Amino acid sequence: MPYPPYFQEKHDVFRNMVRHFVKTEIAPYVDEWEEKGEFPLSILRRMGDLGLLGVHYPRDVGGQGGDYFMAVVLAEELARSGAGGFPMAVAVQTDMATPPIARFGSPQQIERYFKPALAGTKLACLGITEPNHGSDVASIETRAQLQAGEWIVRGSKVFITNGPRADFMTLVARTRDVPGYQGLSLFLLDLDRPGVHLMKRIEKVGMRSSDTALFYFDDVRIPYDALLGEEGRGFSQIMWELQGERLIAAAGALGSAQYAWEMARDYALQRRIYDQSLSRLQTISHLVAEMATEIEAVRQLTYEAAWHFSQGEVLTGDIAMAKLATAQTANWVIDRTMQIMGGHGYIRDWPIERMWRDIRLNRIGGGTDEIMKEIIATTMGIKTSR
């Protein structure tokens, strides 16, 4: 089905290229990466060589000069690896930790951090969540205090994707002793500095090929020019980043739902029961049809929000709707796919059991379902309690 004005022939060519790459260079190795709990950094460099990490960034900063829907295609197609962990790690590299550098970074920061991230030679992570603060970004406690021309960072960050092996962190910290969002700033923190302590590699239910960390910062000294953007403007800068993060999460969930639906359809056509195709059972055929309908609905919602975002319109309510709807739909579709496949869906011979575990994070990470509903209600002028 065509989706003007979103996609053109160049997007179809790119989709076919990424799909082939995923089929030949990612999917065959996902089981191994899941068992190990991390992916090899060489695959990130490989993606950098192919231009996949900077597909929608301008050429003058190391990107490929494509549009935002190239990023949407990449997120959808990476889901066909049958695992959520590695695609999530890539999304952090391309659409979470690095966009603030592209938008607010100095020429020196672009050279030192952004271009190597797009080349896959430096691994990035994003430091927002803390042990006591998640979706409530304005309550962050990690502090960066200016002393003799240096910033002294104290605090901790948790659930940091890519953290155990990352070269640097895009860090949100408090630089002013004022309550709420007014005192937050962004920094680029090299993780090999003295005082940076990797306290724990976090074991998760799913997303296991993506390594996750808990950090403690014990008087970490970083130079003044580690400040990213304007001091005290970190909240607006990171909230802008979160919109792109949620859209890419929506695109990834959409890709997962589509891939699961194809598995459900194919299994229903091939599996025989009572001497007929499983798909001939009305309960199954109607369920597959309902799944396709729900996917198409959230696809339209996601593409529309992404199109506005690509035009510079940050519609927070629409983005929250896309994130919420795709996460819930993907969870529902993948769960129904497992049900259709019966016992085969519950064993590790098929990727659906891993997708079932992985997709649950989409309703938590980047803002929970409940936070998305708060945002949607607020944009509609509905008063909500805080």
| Residues forming the active site | 245
Please check whether residue 217 is in contact with residue 163, taking contact to mean a CB–CB distance below 8 angstroms. no
Cα dihedral angle (273, 275, 279, 283), rounded to 10 degrees? -60
Residue 172: both structure tokens together:
């949100």
Distances (CA, A) of 13 to 19, 23, 55, 154, 294: 10, 16, 13, 47, 26
CA atoms lying within 13 Å on the CB side of residue 266: 6
8, 21, 16: which is closest to 53 by C-alpha? 21
Q: What residues form DSSP beta bridges with 187?
A: 171, 227
Name the E strands within 150-273. Answer: 150-161, 168-174, 184-190, 196-201, 212-223, 227-228, 272-273
How long a stretch of residues is the chain?
A: 386
